[in-house]
Amino acid sequence: MSQRLLPFAILALLFGAPGVVFAQTGSDEESYEDDEWDLEDWEEEEDFEEEAEPEEVVEAEEEELELASPEDAESLLEQAAPDPADPTRKRWTSFKPVISLHGYFRTRGEFQDKFNLGRTEARGVNNPGIPFERYTPASVGSGVVGGCTGDAGTTTETDCFTGDSRHTFANMRFRFSPTLSLGENIHVHSTFDVFDNMVLGSNPNSTPLLGGAGPEGRYPGVPLDTLASTLLPRTPNDFRDSIYVRRVWAEITNRDIGQLRFGRMPHHHGLGMLYNAGNGLDHDFSSDIDRVMGVVHYADFYLGGSWDFVNEGAIRYSTPVDAVPIDATQRDDVRQWSVLASYRRDVEEEEARARKGQWNQRAGLYFLYRKQAYSSFGSTDEVGRPLEFTRRRAQVFTLDAHSKVWWKGLRLEVEAAMIWGSFANIGNLEASDQRYRLRNFGVAFEGEYRLLEDQLGIRFYTGYATGDRDVDGLSIYEDLYLQQSNNNRLTNFSFHPSYRIDLILFRNILGAISGAWYLRPGIEYDIVRTPFGRRLGLGADIIYSRASQEVQAYGRNPNLGVEIDASLYYQSEDGPELFDGFHVLIQYGILFPLAGLEVFGQPDAPGLKNAQALRLVLGVAF
């Protein structure tokens, strides 16, 4: 047997062994609050009590029955088992799968003003530079046939919309996460996104179906975009699909051994600083991973390990097109293994301790190792042969630690991660004798204290991500690793994009917390707060941000900005400790940019402009 298949065989034997108990109940309610490894679901399964048998069955069992021999029983089962290909045969088993439905639907309105911070005027050109150019309206610098006045004899002019600085739009997403349960110990989970962040009003039937302009590509009966009569699915006139399959994975639980998971599943640890499942109602991005993972536990301690399929490199698609694709070669594979050690009490025990006024604690340590010998990333034809390889010789080690302590109204939570390793080449289709070293570190802290029967919340968040003295820029949209010129150390650390602390600078302009640190004090007050989940309240935060390395900031100054955010939120009454129901969120933010975001080398340039954001989020979670 191949060495790569040996772990699969061992796990299959362990978790497929006799002793698995089936039940005809559905899966437990699933919360969309991100959690570490979803251990609550496992703990709740252990508390399952078998249903009482009907009286008729009990009376029948009291009668003396003549039992068949093992050989006769096996023969009868073989005769009763239906042929899967025969639709006229009934199932001989009495167990039927149960499907539980979870997910959410949301619609968001966005108003973004001067997110390019006025750097267009400061630089004297239409392009404010990366990443600010993403928020310069497309109308700036665009030509207008007939000029700004619309006279037929006027030539095309490109300065008609130089003052444009706003984006106003709305989008939607329907996240559907059904769970198929075959008994209490076998579950198949899945996640689908329908109209994933689709801009409302996009894909009208006036948009050319075949691309380009002209009547030949338009929907019949729609001569002008002004006369659009309906909206189409994304596929005919958009490069994005209407439905995305995000995840599908199975969970098999053996109460004597542990749990086996396999498939494409969410990847989350701790606060979600490094790996974030992105299950929040207002989240956009997620960490998903293909893996086979086993978890065992003793008392309140959990130990897990996984074999991950991070990147198989070139994939060969044979002809005909319905043939099964294969990994073209193992030479370019990125291989990864992980180990998890975690401590946490049973959920019921935590709740009992909280009612008694006792403190609770959770802690976890997560280690990952990955390696890659060669890369085919630079190949122009991954389907054909031969491929073009680059010697990568990469080894990466990741250590992620998390701890959470809460007592009465106090919650203290911290996550710290370190990434170190080495690369032979960081580019594609090039050879270098230089060895690059990876040295990254990041930490996030959240502290909150609730009083007045949990109606008033006072919070303080802070975090730090290492920067790099040899690169220019702080956003995730700049290829920072390939900028290396003076040394061979890669030290810039980035948080996950779904770990958000503001509305403007990190969430939108920079894309994530990267090469910077921040301070965020805030307050929250629930005007209405009922035991069954209804909430109506206000919140406000102040965020000060600063670059970790002064030379990495755009203005060669570490001070990036001060942002003030305010929110009004409402959640309908659906049940104690439940996320389900109707949600409304109104947010406003204003960013005061500091010297670190200015245009370097232009002291006489106009000053930066304040950026503003206004958001409306409407959602239904189930």
C-alpha to C-alpha distance for 239 and 202, rounded to whole angstroms = 12
- Residue-level pLDDT at 291: 98
Phi first, then psi: what are they for 573, rounded to 5°? -85, 115
| Domains contained in the chain, CATH given | 6-18+100-118+165-202+238-621 (2.40.160.100)
Record the tokens describing residue 442, joined without a space. Answer: 């990041």
Q: How many CB atoms lie within 10 A of CB 316?
A: 14
Residue 236, classed as helix, strand or coil, is helix
CA count, 13 A, side-chain hemisphere, 389:
16
557 vs 91, which has greater pLDDT? 557
- Residue-level pLDDT at 546: 98
Q: For the chain, give percent helix, strand, coil, nearest 5.
A: 15, 40, 45
C-alpha to C-alpha distance for 33 and 518, rounded to whole angstroms = 24
Q: How many CB atoms lie within 10 A of CB 17?
A: 11
For tokens 């040295």, what's the residue?
A: 439
Residue 56, classed as helix, strand or coil, is helix
Pairing between β-strand 315-316 and β-strand 326-327 as defined by DSSP bridges: antiparallel
Longest dimension (CA), the chain: 104
pLDDT band at 88 (very low <50, low <70, confident <90, very high): low
Q: How many CB atoms lie within 10 A of CB 149?
A: 9
C-alpha to C-alpha distance for 583 and 620, rounded to whole angstroms = 6
Record the tokens describing residue 30, joined without a space. Answer: 């699933």
Q: How much is the average pLDDT of 206-227?
A: 66
Does the structure show a pLDDT above 70 at 1?
Answer: no
- Residue-level pLDDT at 564: 99
Of 82-96, 534-548, 565-579, which one has max mean pLDDT?
534-548
- Residue-level pLDDT at 249: 98
- Residue-level pLDDT at 580: 86
- Over residues 118-142, the pLDDT tens digits come to 886 555 555 678 899 889 888 888 8
Contact between 267 and 309 under an 8 Å Cβ cutoff? The reply is: no
C-alpha to C-alpha distance for 6 and 4, rounded to whole angstroms = 6
Give, rounded to a whole angstrom, the gap between the first and last alpha carbons of the chain.
Answer: 45
Of the candidates 588, 454, 461, 457, the residue with the CA atom closest to the CA atom of residue 524: 457
Helix axes 347-355, 39-46, angle to 10 degrees: 90
Least confident of 371-380, 460-469, 539-548: 371-380
Q: How much is the average pLDDT of 265-278?
A: 98
Record the tokens describing residue 522, joined without a space. Answer: 């805030």
Measured at the CA of 462, the angle between CA 354 and CA 564, to 5 degrees, comes to: 105
Does the structure show a pLDDT above 90 at 493?
Answer: yes
C-alpha to C-alpha distance for 194 and 173, rounded to whole angstroms = 6
Got the DSSP string for 494-517?
A: B--TT----SSIIIIISSS-BSEE
Least confident of 42-46, 163-167, 385-389, 567-571: 42-46
Q: Which residues, 6 or more positions from 422, have their beta carbon under 8 angstroms from its beta carbon? A: 393, 394, 395, 435, 436, 437, 438
- Residue-level pLDDT at 607: 81
pLDDT band at 34 (very low <50, low <70, confident <90, very high): very low
Phi first, then psi: what are they for 163, rounded to 5°? -90, 0
Percent of the chain past pLDDT 70, that is, above it, reads: 76
C-alpha to C-alpha distance for 61 and 67, rounded to whole angstroms = 12
Distances (CA, A) of 527 to 453, 532, 541, 595: 12, 15, 17, 39
C-alpha to C-alpha distance for 118 and 168, rounded to whole angstroms = 17
Pairing between β-strand 581-593 and β-strand 390-407 as defined by DSSP bridges: unpaired
Q: What does DSSP assign to residue 383?
A: S
- Residue-level pLDDT at 383: 56
Evaluate the CA torsion angle 52, 54, 57, 62 in order and state its sign. Answer: positive
Contacts 24+ apart (CB under 8 A), 524-530: 524/456, 524/457, 524/458, 524/459, 525/455, 525/456, 525/457, 526/454, 526/455, 526/456, 526/457, 529/453, 529/454, 529/455, 530/573
Q: Which residues, 6 or more positions from 406, have their beta carbon under 8 angstroms from its beta carbon? A: 354, 359, 360, 412
- Residue-level pLDDT at 23: 34
Contact between 293 and 8 under an 8 Å Cβ cutoff? The reply is: no
C-alpha to C-alpha distance for 96 and 24, rounded to whole angstroms = 7
Of the candidates 365, 359, 482, the residue with the CA atom closest to the CA atom of residue 429: 482
Does the structure show a pLDDT above 60 at 150?
Answer: yes
Of the candidates 435, 554, 419, the residue with the CA atom closest to the CA atom of residue 495: 419
C-alpha to C-alpha distance for 261 and 42, rounded to whole angstroms = 12
The letter for the amino acid at 395 is Q
- Assess whether the previous peptide bond of 97 is cis (omega < 30° from 0): no
Of the candidates 617, 614, 613, the residue with the CA atom closest to the CA atom of residue 115: 613
C-alpha to C-alpha distance for 189 and 176, rounded to whole angstroms = 11
- Over residues 245-255, the pLDDT tens digits come to 999 999 999 98
